[in-house]
């Protein structure tokens, strides 16, 4: 069967269960989910400063507690929506590797990997639902974690199911873009907002041989 990694934003995670289950009828599917909005809200409630650098959350020890709790809640809700095939996993508990980024606090750059727990779940016809934490523990950008797992698992596709239509240029959604051209847009800082980390992760995956789609936009090598 074809292997697909799906990244779900926290805001659309549970609502995307139907799309994931449809994919899982004919594919091995590994899900990586975020919880960005929930984390920010909980940090603000706790009086913890919220700061991002290059699309990545600066993460103090206090913030990491909130991050893990939010991931647990989003992952649990997603597993309920997906049903009995879903298996909730935390990246740090299954050995997801990452290179520390100390200037951002407890943050890491994920490395391509195929954690045994994920491989075992896929072999058992289950749907691993992975929270993007890395060994340390370190907070990892969910888009980057999905790209790293797509590479390590040798997936045929990486899909970003999100609440945006895709990459928009000149008011139009781009159907397909070469990874090199997408990288140039990122290097020239011509984009802003949530599309930036998604496109960066899609470029990483595409350049490693895994075509990636953000909404209706496909990024190819």
Q: What is the pLDDT of residues 71-113, one digit of tens each?
A: 999 999 999 999 999 999 999 999 999 999 999 999 999 999 9
**Residue 12: pLDDT band with limits 50, 70, 90:** confident
CATH for 2-159 (3.30.1330.60, 3.40.1160.10, 1.10.10.60, 3.40.50.970)? 3.40.1160.10
What is the pLDDT at residue 165?
85
State which H helix or E strand residue 17 sits in.
helix 17-24
Greatest CA separation found in the chain? 47
**Residue 15: pLDDT band with limits 50, 70, 90:** confident
Q: Check pLDDT > 80 for residue 169.
A: yes
Tokens representing 13 are 């995670």
Asked if 110 contacts 144 with a C-beta cutoff of 8 angstroms, the reply is yes
Which contacts qualify for 79-82: CB closer than 8 Å, 24 or more apart? 79/129, 80/14, 81/13, 81/14, 81/17, 82/17, 82/20, 82/21, 82/31, 82/127, 82/129
| Number of C-beta neighbours around residue 155 at 10 A | 27
User: 43-47, 52-56, 138-142, 185-189: lowest mean pLDDT where?
Assistant: 52-56
What is the pLDDT at residue 41?
96
Q: Check pLDDT > 90 for residue 214.
A: yes
Q: Check pLDDT > 90 for residue 189.
A: no
User: pTM of the entire structure?
Assistant: 0.94
Q: Check pLDDT > 80 for residue 19.
A: yes
What single DSSP character describes residue 164?
A: S
Is omega for the bond preceding 137 within 30 degrees of 0, making it cis?
A: yes
Task: Outline which parts of the chain fall under CATH 3.40.1160.10.
Answer: 2-159
Question: Roughly what angle, to the nearest 10 degrees, separates helices 17-24 and 61-82?
Answer: 60
In angstroms, rounded to a whole number, what is the distance separating the alpha carbons of residues 144 and 109? Answer: 8
């Amino acid at each position: 069967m074809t292997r697909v990694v799906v990244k779900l934003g926290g805001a659309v995670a549970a609502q995307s269960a139907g799309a994931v289950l449809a994919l899982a009828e004919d594919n091995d599917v590994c899900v990586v989910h975020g919880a960005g909005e929930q984390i920010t809200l909980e940090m603000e409630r706790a009086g913890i400063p919220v700061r991002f650098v290059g699309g990545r959350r600066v993460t103090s020890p206090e913030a990491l507690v909130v991050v893990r709790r939010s991931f647990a809640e989003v992952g649990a809700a997603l597993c309920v929506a997906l049903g009995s095939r879903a298996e909730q996993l935390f990246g740090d508990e299954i050995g997801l590797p990452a290179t520390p980024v100390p200037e951002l606090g407890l943050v890491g750059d994920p490395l391509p990997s195929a954690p045994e727990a994920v491989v075992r779940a896929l072999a058992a016809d289950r749907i691993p639902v992975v929270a993007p934490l890395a060994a340390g523990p370190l907070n990892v950008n969910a888009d980057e974690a999905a790209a790293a797992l797509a590479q390590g698992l040798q997936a045929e596709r990486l899909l970003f199911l999100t609440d945006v239509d895709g990459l928009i240029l000149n008011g139009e959604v781009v159907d397909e873009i070469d990874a090199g051209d997408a990288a140039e847009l990122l290097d020239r800082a011509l984009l802003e907002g949530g599309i930036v980390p998604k496109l960066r992760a899609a470029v990483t995956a595409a350049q490693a041989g895994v075509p990636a789609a953000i909404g209706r936009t496909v990024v190819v090598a």
